Chains A and B, each alone.
Chain A
Amino acid sequence: MLGLNKKDTGLFIFVICVTALAPFIMNPFPADSAMAQFNAGYPDLMQRFVIFGIFAIGFNILFGLTGYLSFGHAAFLGAGSYAAVWMFKLLSYNIVPAIILSVIVAGLFSVIIGFISLRRSGIYFSILTLAFAQMSFAMAYSVLTPLTNGETGLQVYNDDPQWLKGNGPDATHFFGLEMRSTFDLDLGAWSFSFNVGYYFCAVLMLVAFYLSMRIFRSPFGLMLRAIKTNQTRLNYTGLNSRPYTLAAFVISGMYAGLAGGLMASMDPLAGAERMQWTASGEVVLMTILGGAGTLLGPLLGAGFIKYFENIFSKINESVLHGWFGFLPDGIENGLIWVIEHFVGSGWHLTLGLLFMLIVIFLPGGLMEGATRIRDRFSGDKTKKDTEGKYAPAGE
């Protein structure tokens, strides 16, 4: 189907089903029960799942296939957000021109940065992209204030022109369909919300996922893998690898721009902190956590990180006391003292630790973990030997 082989078609249909039914899957607990805080089925979080999914899928096309580790992808996300908000300010709240422009702007931006950064490889490339991203961040804060509104962040004001607005709605919309409108379905104790913005992002995410599948299976994708495996040998065969890496860089930059545009479409704001290098680090983590070089990995990683970020940030001392109340006081207080460091505002600490643990013990990410477990149970020893430690897992 659609130029995919049988296995990929199955995977694609699986992803479609999961995203379509996400409002149900994410809300397994009744709304009033004690477990309701583990529900993730509210619009804001689900939108973040798919938006960061797009970002990570794009990053994976560069890092997973070519092995070029960019530390500056947040710059494209930020550029996309700014472009989208400018479209809201100048034209109207319709998100179509905003998203188109954000992809184009991020694409152009990544052509410039990629053209220079890709002259070097390895760590030089990482440092160069990092420097570019920090430069964009510094510029967004200071020099480009007329474009970015500096520290305040860019937003839509009442006196903005909005030439095409007419009588259109006052919130971001897709030809009249407002992004924030949500249909709530109550089934007994359960409550499910179906949000227009989520489904809009989800459709784009599916398109992005499909494209990335096609890229993975194409001769172009094969060439990118060859670059990762042994670039020197590729050069010796008389091929110039730079156009291929540049194409991969620009594609992933455009994915980041799309994610930035969608972020602004859900909530018409854009700030420089989206470009900071810790934001770039986050998408690297998502991709690695899920499994770089695999199709499903980045989506899985993005969902995992955003879900736990949300859950961990919500937990505070009183919640912990509620959980461990059955323990003797001494043990309870000790345990809570330890856990406290990792939850609430300590989420970043958990993130850093997770980062280290994954890189140390599971460089192939969750997908590799799944493969290892599967191999252990099926007792398939021969496969394990042929698979190198760094071979992309789950294929």
Chain B
Amino acid sequence: MDAILLQILNGLDKGSAYALIALGLTLIFGTLGVVNFAHGALFMIGAFCAVTLQKILTISSVSIDPEKKDFLGNPMEVKTPYVESIFGEATGQLIINWSVPLAILFAIPVMLAVGYIMERGLIKHFYKRPHADQILVTFGLAIVIQEIVKHYYGANPIPTPAPDALRGSFDFGVLLGFDPNAVIYPLWRLVYFAFSALVIGAVFAFLQFTTFGMVVRAGMADRETVGLLGINIDRRFTLTFGIAAAVAGLAGVMYTPINSPNYHMGMDFLVLSFVVVVVGGMGSLPGAVLAGFLLGILESFAAMNEVKSFFEAIYLPSIDQIIIYLVAIIVLLTRPRGLMGRRGVMEE
């Protein structure tokens, strides 16, 4: 039982990332009808927002401390980050320590701006073009973004640790009445899950309970009529694109302590997120979230030794590598509109 719980927890953090990216993809597809192959790149830009903030915060002034010597006997150079000299040592170190959560505040405006520029500058011209053209141009854009990031940050992963306070692990089992030490789980991954649940909740609340969200939902259902009612739907959709970009970016920011970001992390997630969208049902927001978590959990169950050896016995080794694709194929063949897709929407 505790092993099963552990696998569910394992799946949740990957599932959260899938769900957040797939949510943004679906939002863009549902509103603008555009298939965004550059969405993985947005996820990566978010992750590099965290890296950038960390770099900015640790910009240091170099002074020579005559009292300390390094191992050659020369006076040692002491680097004092400007943040520490401005806010005092203790507060400064705290700020640097918490750079990843702080990057959320940094990433939101950056991602909104990136999304806005992307939509107005490029995607706008592709509404009336065939889907193939949209796929190709966003694919090209993804390559360009990836190469620019690679040029400035290098090809190697950059470690961005979580704050010390959230770095340990957490005895999750005790909460549910298991023995102590039965289910111990890294704290940050729980934080990641809670954070993504919060973001998903916020997006849904925004769409459900605000006038803006109502107009966007109406536009998703029938864009032309909303336009005829004298509402500037294009502007709202542009902002929706920005929100989708911000959601992907936030997923990226918070993911950095789990896996050190590198320039191709976006591409790795993109393909799986597309599979998630397809399984959930193209254009269905709850479907994307549900499928994201389901596939994440499924993947972690497939990585269990018991499951693996069972599948090896029936000649399907390393099932964890391919389980998501297998599920996607089965879903598409038996239920083409996906788990929660509406009948008749994109069913061809």
Instruction: Please give the number of chain B residues whose Cβ is less than 8 angstroms from any Cβ of chain A in the complex.
Output: 40
Q: How large is the interface on A (under 10, 10 to 19, 20 to 34, 35 or more residues)?
A: 35 or more
B141 within 8 A of A: yes
B212 within 8 A of A: no
Q: Provide the residues of chain A in CB contact with B122, threshold 8 Å.
A: 356, 360
Q: Report yes or no: B147 in contact with A349, Cβ–Cβ below 8 A.
A: yes
A333 within 8 A of B: no
Mark the stretch among B4-12, B57-65, B237-245, B318-326 that contacts chain A.
B318-326
Q: Report yes or no: B147 in contact with A346, Cβ–Cβ below 8 A.
A: yes
Q: Report yes or no: A355 in contact with B151, Cβ–Cβ below 8 A.
A: no
Q: Report yes or no: A135 in contact with B322, Cβ–Cβ below 8 A.
A: yes
Q: Report yes or no: B144 in contact with A356, Cβ–Cβ below 8 A.
A: yes
Q: Report yes or no: B131 in contact with A123, Cβ–Cβ below 8 A.
A: yes
Q: Report yes or no: B141 in contact with A352, Cβ–Cβ below 8 A.
A: yes
Q: How far is the CB of B159 from chain A (nearest CB, A)?
A: 23
A384 within 8 A of B: no
Q: How far is the CB of A143 from chain B (nearest CB, A)?
A: 4
Q: Report yes or no: A119 in contact with B332, Cβ–Cβ below 8 A.
A: yes
Q: Provide the residues of chain A in CB contact with B282, threshold 8 Å.
A: 123-124
Q: Report yes or no: A284 in contact with B136, Cβ–Cβ below 8 A.
A: yes
How many residue pairs at the A-B interface have CB separations less than 8 Å?
116
Q: Provide the residues of chain A in CB contact with B35, threshold 8 Å.
A: 123, 126
B132 within 8 A of A: yes
Q: Report yes or no: A131 in contact with B274, Cβ–Cβ below 8 A.
A: yes
Given contacts A119-B332, A126-B135, A277-B271, contact A355 B143 (CB under 8 A): yes
Report the Cα distance A217→B231, complex, angstroms.
50
Q: How far is the CB of A275 from chain B (nearest CB, A)?
A: 13
Given contacts A128-B332, A346-B151, A349-B151, contact A355 B136 (CB under 8 A): yes
| Chain A binding surface SS class | helix
Q: Report yes or no: B133 in contact with A121, Cβ–Cβ below 8 A.
A: no
Q: Report yes or no: A139 in contact with B144, Cβ–Cβ below 8 A.
A: no
B82 within 8 A of A: no
Q: Provide the residues of chain A in CB contact with B130, threshold 8 Å.
A: 67, 390
Residue among A116, A122, A341, A363 making CB contact with B151, cutoff 8 Å:
A341
Q: Provide the residues of chain A in CB contact with B277, threshold 8 Å.
A: 127
Residue among A127, A138, A360 making CB contact with B274, cutoff 8 Å:
A127
Report the Cα distance A351→B140, complex, angstroms.
8
Binary interface encoding of chain B residues 258-278 relative to chain A, with 1 for a CB under 8 A from any of its CBs, else 0: 000000000100010011011
Q: Report yes or no: B278 in contact with A134, Cβ–Cβ below 8 A.
A: no
A281 within 8 A of B: yes
Q: Provide the residues of chain B in CB contact with A288, threshold 8 Å.
A: 136
Q: Report yes or no: A135 in contact with B144, Cβ–Cβ below 8 A.
A: no
Q: Report yes or no: A355 in contact with B140, Cβ–Cβ below 8 A.
A: yes
Report the Cα distance A132→B136, complex, angstroms.
18
Would you list the 8 A-B pairs with minimal beta carbon distance, nearest first?
A352-B143, A355-B140, A356-B140, A349-B147, A352-B144, A143-B318, A135-B325, A69-B132
Instruction: Using CB atoms and an 8 Å cutoff, list the residues of chain A in contact with chain B.
Output: 67, 69, 71, 116, 119-124, 126-128, 130-132, 134-135, 138-139, 142-143, 277-278, 281, 284, 288, 341, 346, 348-349, 351-356, 359-360, 363, 390
Can you offer 17 A-B residue contacts whose CB atoms are under 8 A?
A67-B132, A69-B135, A122-B346, A123-B282, A127-B277, A138-B321, A277-B267, A281-B143, A348-B143, A349-B144, A351-B143, A352-B142, A353-B144, A356-B140, A356-B141, A359-B137, A359-B140
